[in-house]
Amino acid sequence: MTDLEVYLSGEIHTDWRAEIEEAVKAAGLPIVFTAPVTVHENSDDCGVSILGAEEKPFWADHKGAKVNAIRTRTLIERADIVVVRFGDKYKQWNAAFDAGYASALGKPLIIQHDPALTHPLKEVDGAALAVAETPAQVAAVLRYVVTGEL
């Protein structure tokens, strides 16, 4: 099997991406990971830093969102599998948007969240091919996809 490209979308306040990447590396799986920019300040300020300042916060956010969308859309479109993690601390509209975009593209979707979020995420979970509670479960799904072994 050639390398799979897996896009890791979602919350940026925990090390869940590293947990998945370490488990996949330890298993020797041929998977390449991509992700959005996870340095909050860079993500927020990319538009005005690159394209110039804005007087109103709305337009500064607008510019940043569009520049980030170039990266996000490109990487989701390239991905073989999209993993979206919802944390319990913040409203993560970007993660929900990424899940919807990936689903609309027909990308295999793995959702990861705490069981307390099952009800609010029922539509997102309904679009997923797997719903996990931990990064270890996500890594196990990826291992099974690549090797066919339990």
90-111: pLDDT as tens digits? 778 899 999 999 999 999 999 9
The radius of gyration of the chain's CA atoms, rounded to the nearest angstrom, is 16
Q: Which of 148, 95, 150 is nearest to 120 (CA)?
A: 95
User: Per mean pLDDT, which range of 6-15, 74-83, 133-142 is the poorest?
Assistant: 6-15
Check: CB of residue 9 under 8 Å from CB of residue 85.
yes
What does the pLDDT look like over 3-21, one tens digit per residue?
999 999 999 889 999 999 9
Q: What is the pLDDT of residue 90?
A: 74
Q: b/e for 64-73, b at 16 or more Cβ within 10 A?
A: beebbeeebe
pLDDT at 64 over 80: yes
Q: What is the pTM of this model?
A: 0.95
Check: CB of residue 137 under 8 Å from CB of residue 112.
yes
Helix (H, G, I), strand (E, B) or coil at 89: coil
Give the number of C-alpha atoms closer than 13 A to the C-alpha of residue 93, restricted to the C-beta side.
Answer: 1
139/120 Cα distance (integer angstroms): 24
Q: At 58, which amino acid appears?
A: F
Helix (H, G, I), strand (E, B) or coil at 7: strand
Hey, which residues does 32 pair with through a beta bridge? 5
Task: Kindly report the average pLDDT of the chain as a whole number.
Answer: 95
pLDDT at 1 over 80: no
Q: Which of 135, 140, 128 is nearest to 114 (CA)?
A: 135
pLDDT at 30 over 70: yes
